[in-house]
Amino acid sequence: MSEREYPVADLPTPRETYSPGDAVSLQLDALETNDDPFENAGIMTAYNFASPANRRSTGPLDRFIAMVQSPQYRPMIDFEEAVRGPVERDENYAEQRVTVTGPDGRTTTYEFGLSVQSVGEFRGCWQTDRVVVV
């Protein structure tokens, strides 16, 4: 899939009305039921919310899917529970920690780092710059 096919059609995309917490929630909701409405739709939704800088380092889409399916991020796919911490926001940057209980019952805590985009298709929207295990 080429960058021209970004964003993936028929899946949630960033909107100016979404807060950083909304952006994280939409991604988690999609990952919780990853293969609904089609295979890897949850991962593709996360890709739609990835900032241009994030996509440059993690894309294209097939590489992004493989990364999310790797052991580091696999607990986010079809997880059992997600406990969200508070959104810490400083103007155009925000972070939120999320502790996910994976399908195997183990917990992993991730920190989402987001920023408001200043250029491009989703200018003025919160997008994910990074997701790291903490």
**What are the structural domains, with CATH classification, of the chain?**
18-133 (3.10.450.100)
Note whether 95 and 114 are within 8 A (CB). yes
Question: Which residue's entry shows tokens 């939704």?
Answer: 45
Does residue 1 have a pLDDT over 60? no
Give 3-state DSSP helix, strand, coil % of the chain, rounded to 5. 30, 30, 40
What's the pTM value of the predicted model, to 2 decimals? 0.95
Average pLDDT of the chain, as a whole number: 95
**Nearest Cα to 29, choosing from 54, 11, 15?**
11
Q: Which residues contact 88 (CB under 8 A, 6 or more apart)?
A: 94, 95, 96
**pLDDT over 60 (residue 4):** no
pLDDT digits (tens, 9 = 90+) for 47-96: 999 999 999 999 999 999 999 999 999 999 999 999 999 999 999 999 99
Residue 11, pLDDT above cutoff 70: yes
Average pLDDT, integer, range 25-40: 98
Q: Which phi and psi angles does 98 have, rounded to 5°?
A: -135, 125
pLDDT at residue 5 in the model: 77
